[in-house]
Chains A and B, each alone.
Chain A
């Protein structure tokens, strides 16, 4: 496989995952706005931070409002991580790696792009927002389904999966990074109504409410939330889950190619360093510091994969 193709697959799946995550975050923000009423604008600033798009937004708008935050995250061409831009980049990457994809996978990506481009061709009204967001998530699911059902489990699939889980781990970690303070033991002892909303927000933004309930019951507690999002082995958006998938796919590549490279050592270290402690040890270390370190290690791994598999040179 061409190095360029590996890079294209990796970025295609990262961008697709990103568009879906952004849609989910907007959904969460909208939900808070509806349940909390007038003082929700502050929440949009935090949502923008979670999506790592607040700097660009601040350049364009003085304050974050519901309207301008949603428009920025959904369809602003100046925001490279807006849903529209992500899907467009994903599709351009898919075009570049067209020969590595099955007909069905390519068609699913292309159809997602055409549909989402059409839905986002004008400002989305509050009334249409739920349908638009659900269409975005649905299109993403179609793509995943087409790939899951038709692609060979070879290096092509490995690079796609690695891209997906890199982006997902990054996303979950960023949500926690923005919201870590509401999970700290000090704040949680009170358990005010406000805290409950925040905790719910965190779970919602990673589609984990149901999963949490099945695992930890109806009581939403910060320690369990942190445990669930960081370390749970079955929760498909937890850091532990994402890392084990990255590790698995990297190891398939290693055995396929018969090559142990630096990125393999790095993912092993990353897993050992971040996934082998219990949640209390993490709180003792400092949740914020832990997440910061994790994000840095993840970015480092991403760069190493680029080098090892010759994405660019």
Chain B
């Protein structure tokens, strides 16, 4: 049986320093009051409408993501190291994208095989030679982190397209502030509420060069039936900008413009929450009703900023992931501060040999797979399954990567029978503009609510927690 590192109790059961004050507070609370608070939290979420939509279910079409009232606490020291690593990684991703769509120095230098790019579905030829306003590709990034012990964090995944969940980070904090104000006067927690303002400023700083006066920013949503609609309206509301749909937009005099009560008004920066494929029916998927016909042409003419830039998906692809340490080093000249999960690329003979020898301890994934399909989890597979996978690996080694099975850290959740440890991950949110990189302290902690489960996804019964980064 694996021992998991618990962020509140460590491996020994002794309360770790960052949790001391919270632990004292918790010990003085009546479980009945906390249970009432837990229900109160759900009521608050429902009233505010923080729900996500589930397709194809008439009755339960809007669901709440379960919220757990026990915060996840990170010390100032831990955060400092993390944010340094995130800053470095995000800069590297941005430089990588600029390089990939221009001179491709990293390929010329032999650090990444060219076929990794050209054959990648996420590579967007429309972006070749296009430099987005301000040179920024990834305006908003979410870096998924997991922790395995006192000192080790790994990046599990980069999200450089349209990372979601930031509204939960903000609402979780609001809810905690409303329910347990006394906790926050005892413990100094770094605020997160500045995010919408920072987002607005960061987007405005990326406006096209020809934009005079304060830039007009808008959020593009697929509409009220989209799963993340709440977040789209939340962010537009908090930024004080319009929330538009494709049907509100058209190209007028070479600019993307929105239909207002007083006629069409040009938009300078569009924070789009729709995928590349749906962005422009003239240039991409012709059936898309969500986008704006011709927006890519306006974009290439430098008359609008699209955040994030189209084609950014090439940087958060699973195949590219394994090259991230090289990418960080190539563009920053420094060793990566944040570790990648060790990844064996099975197309390299030495790696393949290692993977085959240690199959029962590894997780093997398809390079282009997602959602857990076509995956082997060594420790839980039978001899027969292992043997079958071995022959698949030998037949098409290029198609696979392998990683060790990680012992994800746990944080307690509040259950009927008291505190119980559950596995968590962390998604910090990062803003990038010519003015610099802005990282909100903390991020969204997702937690698997089932005992022993490693699946934190909300679509599969995961919940969220407020994430505290303590002040120095």
A residues neighboring B (CB under 8 Å): 1-6, 92, 95-96, 98-99, 103, 106-107, 110-111, 114, 155, 257, 259, 309-310, 313
Taking the closest CB of chain B, its distance from the CB of A76, in whole angstroms, is 16
Nearest-CB distance from B170 to chain A (Å)?
A: 13
CB-CB < 8 A to A98: which residues of B?
233-234, 237, 243
On whether the beta carbons of B261 and A99 are closer than 8 Å, the reply is no
The answer to whether B261 and A155 have CB atoms under 8 Å apart is: yes
Give Cα distance in the complex from A98 to B229, angstroms: 11
User: Is A2 a contact partner of B248 (Cβ separation < 8 A)?
Assistant: yes
Find the B residue at minimum CB distance from A113. B49
A257-B262 in contact (CB<8A) = yes
Give the distance in Å from the alpha carbon of A42 to the alpha carbon of B224 in the complex: 42
Whether A2 and B260, one on each chain, are in contact in the complex, defined by CB atoms closer than 8 angstroms, is yes
Taking A4-B248, A106-B49, A110-B49 as contacts, is the C-beta distance between A95 and B229 under 8 angstroms?
A: yes
B47 within 8 A of A: yes
Assembled-state Cα–Cα distance A30/B377 (Å):
66
List A contacts of B261 (CB < 8 A): 1-3, 5-6, 155, 257, 309-310
User: Bound complex: CA of A155 vs CA of B262, how far in Å?
Assistant: 11
Q: How far is the CA of A114 from the CA of B64 in the complex (A)?
A: 14
Chain B contact patch, size range: 20 to 34
A–B Cβ pairs within 8 angstroms, 28 of them? A2-B244, A2-B248, A2-B260, A3-B248, A3-B260, A3-B261, A4-B248, A5-B242, A92-B224, A95-B224, A95-B233, A98-B233, A98-B237, A98-B243, A99-B233, A99-B236, A99-B237, A99-B243, A103-B48, A106-B49, A107-B47, A107-B48, A110-B47, A114-B46, A155-B261, A259-B262, A309-B261, A310-B260
Instruction: Give bound CA distance, A98 to B242, whole Å.
Output: 10
Contact A3 B242 (CB under 8 A): no
Contacts of B258 in A (CB 8 A): 2
The 6 closest A-B pairs by CB, nearest first: A98-B233, A99-B237, A309-B261, A3-B259, A99-B236, A6-B261
| Bitwise interface map of B from 167 to 206 toward A, beta carbon under 8 Å scored 1, else 0 | 0000000000000000000000000000000000000000
Contacting B224 at CB < 8 Å: which of A96, A103, A309, A310?
Answer: A96
- Output the nearest chain B residue to A98 by Cβ-Cβ distance: B233
CB-defined contacts of A96 to chain B, threshold 8 Å: 224
Q: Given contacts A92-B224, A95-B229, A99-B236, are A4 and B259 in contact (CB under 8 A)?
A: yes
Q: In the bound complex, how far is the Cα of B48 from the Cα of A99, in angstroms?
A: 13
Interface centre among B49, B236, B244 (most CB of A within 10 A): B49
Give CA–CA (A41, B291) in the complex, Å: 53
Would you list which residues of chain B between 206 and 237 have a CB under 8 Å from chain A?
A: 224, 229, 233-234, 236-237
Q: Which of B226-270 contact A (CB under 8 A)?
A: 229, 233-234, 236-237, 241-245, 247-248, 258-263
Candidates B49, B245, B259, B262; contact of A95 at CB < 8 Å: B49
- Closest residue of A by beta carbon distance from B258: A2
> Do residues B259 and A310 form an inter-chain contact, with CB atoms below 8 A?
yes
Q: Which residues of the partner chain A approach B241 to less than 8 Å between Cβ atoms?
A: 99
**Chain B's nearest CB lies how many Å from the CB of A10?**
11
Closest to B223 in A: A96
- A114's contact among B47, B244, B245, B262, by CB below 8 Å, is which? B47
Contact B247 A4 (CB under 8 A): yes
Give the residues in chain B near A95, CB-CB below 8 Å: 49, 224, 229, 233
Q: Given the complex, which residues of B lie within 8 Å of A313, measured CB to CB?
A: 259
